[in-house]
Amino acid sequence: MTITLVSPQIEVMKMDSIQEKNIVYQTSQLNLWYGEKHALKNINLDILENEVTAIIGPSGCGKSTYLKILNRMIELVQGVKITGEILYRNRNILDRSYQVEELRTKVGMVFQKPNPFPKSIYENVAYGPKIHGIRDKKVLEQIVEKSLRSAALWDEVKDRLNQNAYSLSGGQQQRLCIARCLAIEPDVILMDEPTSALDPISTLKIEELVKELKKEYSIIIVTHNMQQAARISNKTAFFLNGEVIEFAPTSKIFSNPKDKRTEDYITGRFG
């Protein structure tokens, strides 16, 4: 008992001393119920700065639910009960005094299906800065260009910024959504299966983008695609039936999983 308790602590200390990265999200004893259904059970996870953290697991394991708590989008669902604590930069986001708009300004989100607004490409990217009070056209133009460049979309759309966003292909739309998210210069980017609706080439582009973005942002990505998790993430959390079965550096999870269930899942024996 004592041995199992001590050894992970040593491991954490080791990792911290090597990387010296700050913790972005500290989740402790998080539980969530959808009505009677216990969807997340005693989750404890620490997510570090400037890393890509992948969350994998079969459908219905609670991975998207967990992601939606991190920017409190879960509040849009009715009949949800949450206990526990999630510290974002040392402040409990589940505290009622934490203004949800403030949180979402720092924590951006990219959704499963590209969901650009029915506006021009320019207006899509300028939306965030505008709602937060930036009116100066020159500043807005600079933000739009910078964000589109960061999302590797600028060269494809620079001549047609005033066209409707729906004229873009699915992959371009998803990169536009990433650009829209970058425009408010968030600290963390949450991605909920961002490539599941895209073709392989668009998927590759997004993956490369994610690798590039982690230099400046902390990224948490939910994915069904295990190769994707292996390719782009630093750490991987494996969720099953609302529990975190294993959370470790990605290379470890995929080469030497500790838990039998993790091994079964990543080798494709179920899920």
Among 28, 42, 92, 120, binds other proteins (CB under 8 A): 120
Residue number with CB closer to other proteins (116 or 242): 116
Binding status of residue 131 toward other proteins by CB under 8 A: yes
- The full 3-state SS of the chain, as one line of letters, equals CHHHHHHHHHHHHHHHHHHCCCEEEEEEEEEEEECCEEEEEEEEEEEECCCEEEEECCCCCCHHHHHHHHCCHHHHCCCEEEEEEEEECCEECCCCCCCHHHHHHHEEEECCCCCCCCCEHHHHHHHHHHHCCCCCHHHHHHHHHHHHHHCCCHHHHCCCCCCEHHHCCHHHHHHHHHHHHHCCCCCEEEEECCCCCCCHHHHHHHHHHHHHHCCCCEEEEECCCHHHHHHHCCEEEEEECCEEEEEEEHHHHHHCCCCHHHHHHHCCCCC
Kindly state whether residue 143 participates in binding other proteins, applying the rule CB under 8 A: no
Total residues at interface with other proteins (CB under 8 A): 29
Rule CB under 8 A: is residue 104 a binding residue for other proteins? yes
Among 33, 34, 98, 127, binds other proteins (CB under 8 A): 127
Rounded to a whole number of angstroms, the minimum distance from the CB of residue 180 to other proteins is 7
| 196 interacts with other proteins by CB under 8 A | no
Q: Is 175 in the site for other proteins (CB under 8 A)?
A: no
Asked if 39 touches other proteins (CB under 8 A), the answer is no
Q: Is 119 in the site for other proteins (CB under 8 A)?
A: yes
Residues that bind other proteins (CB under 8 A): 71, 73, 76, 78, 101-105, 108-109, 111, 113, 115-120, 123, 127-128, 131-132, 164, 177, 180-181, 184
